[in-house]
Amino acid sequence: MNSDEIIKRNLLGEPLSSNALKLARAIYNTYLTYDDLDMEIKFATFFKLLNLHPCKDSINDIQDLLEELNEPIAVRNFEFHGEVTQLKFVQLCTYSIKKETIEINLNEEYLHAHNTYMLDSFLGK
């Protein structure tokens, strides 16, 4: 598939909340800074970013935002590393909540879909 054949589309089912956008951009910028899809970010960083008080409810709020960001997007004729898939569902990341941190693994396929196919892109803005 040539790049001139790619038609960008609206892939988000519904717009993301402002806090979800903040969180997504912070995660993405952390990825760009360290050039590593696997990250471990302290809760304190999220609390400061989202103006939350350090407590269990705030951790639950962060988890809700991560779930919002992980709504799968469907990409038709998805091409990745030379393989074309007629319909591919991809999520932003996987994550695991630890005692003082959240381990996040960004999905390389999602980043590719975001940059290549998504008209309603939101990372890095």
Q: Are 30 and 42 in contact (CB under 8 A)?
A: no
Q: Which of 92, 47, 50 is nearest to 69 (CA)?
A: 92
Q: What are 109's two structure tokens?
A: 């396929």
CA distances for 96 relative to 30, 65, 84, 91, angstroms = 17, 14, 30, 15
Walk along the chain (125 residues) in steps of 10 and give the mean pLDDT of each run: 65 89 95 94 96 96 97 94 95 96 97 91 77
Angle at 88 between CA 87 and CA 90, to 5 degrees: 155
pLDDT of residue 125: 58
